[in-house]
Structures are given as C-alpha cells and as structure tokens.
Amino acid sequence: MTDQTRTAACLAVGSELLGGEKLDRNSLTITRAVARYGVRVAEKRVAGDDVGDVAAAIGELLHRHDLVVVTGGLGPTADDVTRDAVARALDRPIEHDDEIMEWIHARYAAYGRRTPTFAPQMARVVQGARPLPNNRGTAPGMLVEVDGALLAVLPGPPWEMEEMLERDLLPELERWSAGTVRLTRTLVLGGVFESDVEEQVRHLYQRFGREDISILASFGVVRLVLTAAGVEDAARDRLDDMEAAFRDLLGDAVAGVDVGGLPEAVVVELRSAGQTMATAESCTGGLVSARLTDVAGASEVFVGGVVSYSNEVKECALGVPLETLVDHGAVSEEVARAMAAGARERLGADWGIGITGIAGPTGGTVDKPVGLVHWAVAGPDGVWARHRVFPGTRPVVREWSLNSALDLLRRRLGAPE
C-alpha cells in the first residue's frame, strides 16, 4: 500500500506573491501531481525575496514534512535568493559549476541571445544537490536529500516548473511509493445542489470510505472526487466500482468524467454526436463562448456566437422580433427562446443557447431583481427554457448562468429522441 502518512509542503518564493494582486498557482499543480503517489500537501507558504525568510521557512518545513517543494527565486537577478537560502538552510557551501554554466550558455544561445553578465549566479550549486536542467527557460532547479526528506527547488514560471516536476521530481516519488499509486476520478455534475448530492450519496461513504470521497461545489457545478490507492490496476478497478455505484445514484446529473467542467463536457458530447452549437449571450457577455473555446478542439463543434448587449444587436444579429423585446422586456423567457433559436439559425448550428439576465450590481427592479436570468436551448426538436434568481455578485451570477445553460444543453443532447 501507498504510505499515506507522507506529507509535503509547498513554498512559493517571490515578493510579488505577497502583494495585493497575484497568487501562487504552482502549488495547485504540485498538489495534484504528488497526490498520485500518495503524498498529501499539508502546508503551503509564501515568502518574499529575503534570504533569511526563505532559509527559515525551508528549515522549518524540512523538519516537518517528507517533501518540500520550493518554487521561484532561481533567476539571475539580485532579487533571486532561493539558491542562497537553500545553502543557508542546509548549512552547506554553494559553488560555481562549469557544466551548469555550459547548459546556461546553450540555453541563451538557443534563444539567439548572448549570455548576460549576471547569468553565472544561476550556475552555482549547493553541495550535494542534483542540478536539474531547464529546457524551457534558463534557471536550473535542484533536488537535495536532507536527512530522509526530499527538497525540490523548481523555477517559478509554471511552464518551466511543470517540465521539471514531471521529469525530475515525480520519478523520485514513484520510487517512494514502490509501485503503488493514488488515483482520482472526478465526476462532474450539473443541475444539482451540493447538499442534495451529499444526501443522495451519503450511504456510500461507509462502503467506500469517507476520506476517499469529496464533494466540491462551485456555482452550478458539483465535482465528486473519488480516490483509490494501491497497485495501479487494482486502484483503477476500485475507481470503476466507485464510479458505477455513484452513477447508479446520480443518473443524468453526471455530465462527464475527468473533464475540466461543463464547457469541456459539452464539447466532448457534441463531438461524439457529430453536432455543432452556437451561442447568443447577453448578461454573460461572451463568457460562454470564451469558456467553450478554452477547450482545445472546440472549433470542431462551436461555430460561433453573438454577444447581444444592446437590443439592436438582439434584433439585427439574432432576429429577436422587436415586439417580443417590447412586450416582454429584454430579460424574459420569450427573448431567451428567440435568442437561442436565432443563434442556431443565423449562425448555422445544430444547437443554440440563449442567455439573458441581470447580472448586477444595478439594473434590477421589483419584478426583475438582480440575479434573474433566463436561459434557453434550441435544438432540432424544439426550444427549452429555464430561469432562476441567482444569489451573489456579478461574476457569480455570470458563472451560474454559464453553467446552467450548458447543463440544459447537455441534458437535451443526452435526451432520448
């Protein structure tokens, strides 16, 4: 069995990560990657570009965890203190390495640039550390074993970090786990509430283990994350059993498995059905099409969309009749239906989505409060509409709208003819 007691810590280095704008996101990638080998991230930290702070954090974390992953602070400028902080934390010397210097020259040459004068700073190696080449940037990383714990130091830019993580760190963890892995499978659910899902699946907790099932909700999407540990085949079989049991209970709430969200689920379903879709968006302002086209390969199924913020655009680009707009108002079931049908017909797709609503913060009335959203789906056999008053701020209302409309589409796609 995987040793489930192994814990990890992530330390992100960089004063810019302590400002009011930017968050460290590398820790998410690291968390997901190490989980596969049964290593659980139990602590995260962010430190500024101060060699003392970084050294202190590394020292404390190595003392507490089996794995410490440091990201950032490896560049060539005076701000980049991580290398020196590692030397200080481990109380080991740091020395210039000619071979690393060669790598660095080669990297700059590959970009057609002369090696800058400050680059040799990156060629210094902490005694006993294994330097890790960087094929996507110039700053090398390092791996060091310290009293049974492993310290991995990776570059801050995600693209560079990810390559080193996969190529150099994960094989070490694979060795730790001695052939066992910890696999996860995520059922993405649409059109359901977290509390209802919890109620429905609760009795499976005992059968499969409470700690191997987690439920995460986010504005119209619920993710059920299943985990199984063991030798790869056995873990996969167990996940198959779990998935089957949960599908039995959840039925058509399951929009997809191991997909990023409803946009990806919809792209996958349309592709397998060989069908296309188009969008007509008002309050979501292009968010639905932006998310659909975030999915690589969306161009096979998504022909395009219209963002109709003004009534004139609803009329001229989507063919929503002026009377409908006047009689029912732009935020109405009738307009949502006409938008969906207009997108489908005018843009030439099998399916059309229409969304109109009041995302706020202003624009609400007694009859049509902020948060009221109408959405509709037009398909080969008809048009279906729904509405709800969503709680929350403007971005939250937009997110709920996006997921609700995509959920209606994928349910119609999957409906028996």
The closest alpha carbon to 154, from 74, 66, 92, belongs to: 74
Is residue 110 involved in binding a copy of itself (CB under 8 A)?
A: no
Give me the least distance between CB of 337 and a copy of itself, in Å please.
Answer: 19
Residues in the chain: 417
Q: Which is nearer to a copy of itself, 234 or 396 (CB)?
A: 396
Q: Which amino acid is at 125?
A: V
Residue 166 DSSP class: I
- Span of 92-100, 142-150, 302-310, 409-417 interacting with a copy of itself by CB under 8 A: 302-310
CB-wise, 328 or 394, nearer to a copy of itself? 394
Quick one: residue 128, left, alpha or beta (phi over 0 = left, psi -120 to 50 = alpha)? left
In angstroms, the Cα distances linking 45 to 24, 53, 150 are: 9, 11, 17
Residue with tokens 């680059």: 119
For residue 321, state whether it binds a copy of itself (rule: CB under 8 A). Answer: no
3-state DSSP assignment of residue 351: strand
347 binds a copy of itself (CB under 8 A): yes
The pattern of x and - marking residues 235 through 274 that bind a copy of itself according to CB under 8 A reads ----------------------------------------
Neighbouring CB atoms inside 10 A of 173's CB total 22
Type of residue found at 241: D
Residue selected from 322, 395, 414, 415 as contacting a copy of itself according to rule CB under 8 A: 395
Strand-pairing partners, residue 9, are 43, 68
115 is a contact residue toward a copy of itself (CB under 8 A): no
3-state secondary structure of 361: coil
CB of 95 to a copy of itself, least distance (A): 30
Nearer to a copy of itself, 92 or 346 (CB): 346
Cβ nearer to a copy of itself, comparing 142 with 397: 397
Work out which of 103, 208, 246, 302 binds a copy of itself, going by CB under 8 A.
302
Out of 126, 150, 222, 307, name the contact with a copy of itself by CB under 8 A: 307
Tell me the CA distances in angstroms from 242 to 200, 204, 259, 280, one per residue in order: 14, 9, 17, 38
- Can you tell me which of 2, 134, 180, 284 binds a copy of itself, judged by CB under 8 A? 284
HSE value, Cβ hemisphere, 13 Å, CA-based, for 288? 35
Instruction: State which residue, 127 or 299, has the beta carbon closest to a copy of itself.
Output: 299
Residues 119-178 that bind a copy of itself (CB under 8 A): 159
Report, in angstroms and rounded to the nearest whole number, the Rg of the chain calculated over CA atoms: 26
Q: Which stretch binds a copy of itself (CB under 8 A): 67-75, 83-91, 167-175, 278-286?
A: 278-286
User: Using the rule CB under 8 A, is 106 a contact of a copy of itself?
Assistant: no
Contact characters 7-46, a copy of itself, x per CB under 8 A: ---------xxxxxxxxxx-xxx-xx--x----xxxxxxx
Which is nearer to a copy of itself, 120 or 285 (by Cβ)?
Answer: 285
Report if residue 293 touches a copy of itself, rule: CB under 8 A: yes
Q: What CA–CA distances, in Å, run from 129 to 15, 150, 205?
A: 25, 11, 44
What is the crossing angle of helices 333-347 and 311-318, to 10°?
40
Pick from 114, 310, 365, 380 the residue near a copy of itself by CB under 8 A. Answer: 310
Question: By CB under 8 A, is residue 196 in contact with a copy of itself?
Answer: no
Q: How far is CA 285 from the centre of its chain?
A: 22
